Amino acid sequence: MSLDALLAGLDPPVTSQADETEWVWDIYLYLAIGVAAFIAVLVLYVIIRFRRRDGDELPPQKQYNVPVELAYTIIPLLIIGALFAITVVTVQAIEEIDDDPDLVVEVTAAQWQWQFDYPDSGVSVIGSGEEFPELVLPANSSVTFELQSLDVIHSFWITAFRFKRDIIPGSPGRFSVDIEDVAGYYPNAGVCAEYCGLAHGTMRFEVRILETDEFADWIAQQQAEGSQG
């Protein structure tokens, strides 16, 4: 992927849903480049081939060419139809909600901080003034996020998921992902993507994906700290 070499800042996809997005992205991207290049070449050809020369007469004044016009209506229509089909299939897969996930995380957004609650274990993570909160997730497991906002609209974007969802006050939302075997630390992956006022730019979080057993240890540790504090 030579193109993605330009994108070194982007974390690799970590969910099976993100994998779906990635191959759709590849199709759209290369098609977009192809179409743009085709038209650029066409324009270049036209301005070289048909540039005015000494002694030019009035060119032919033919105004319609119905077969050509139909072709450049129908061919794009077919391309759009194919792209739409790909989108429908993948978007439905991405939007599928897992009602019985391995883990539920409640995400609460407020100006300008995140809170992550793990209702099964009573663990809660809140960012502090100086430090971004860390969203810790288990590898190889399904997770459903339940989103709510306490004030204005925020948007929960994890770039490694290739997914975001607005968090609209008064209207809780949720989505599910299947995290793959991708344990690692993703310090730039968590972003509030909907403009939410003064400190919107600093409303970020870090993502850490742990192996399943490490995750259990982490939960236990948090519970211990919580009961102490």
- Of 163-192, binders to other proteins (CB under 8 A) are 163-166, 168-171, 173, 175, 187-189, 191-192
Residue closer to other proteins by CB (options 66, 100) is 66
Binding mask 111-150 for other proteins (x = CB under 8 A): x---------------------------------------
Could you say which residues in the range 69-98 bind other proteins, by CB under 8 A?
Answer: 69, 72-73, 76-77, 80, 83-84, 86-88, 90-91, 94-95
The two three-digit tokens of residue 131, written as one number: 């430090």
Residue closer to other proteins by CB (options 123, 160) is 160
Q: Is 60 helix (H, G, I), strand (E, B) or coil?
A: coil
Q: Which of 129, 131, 198, 228 binds other proteins (CB under 8 A)?
A: 198
CB 211 within 8 A of CB 183: yes
State yes or no: residue 221 binds other proteins (CB under 8 A): no
State yes or no: residue 10 binds other proteins (CB under 8 A): yes
Supply the minimum distance, in Å, between the C-beta of residue 58 and other proteins.
5
Name, in order, each residue with C-beta under 8 angstroms of 126's C-beta and a sequence gap of 6 or more.
113, 114, 115, 116, 133
Residues 169, 155, 89: CA angle, nearest 5 degrees? 110
Residue among 26, 25, 13 at smallest CA distance from 159:
13
Amino acid at position 56, single letter: D
Q: Which of 1, 2, 68, 100 binds other proteins (CB under 8 A)?
A: 68
Supply the minimum distance, in Å, between the C-beta of residue 107 and other proteins.
13
94: Cα within 13 Å, side-chain hemisphere: 20
**Interface with other proteins: number of residues (CB under 8 A):** 89
Residues 161, 164, 165: CA angle, nearest 5 degrees? 140
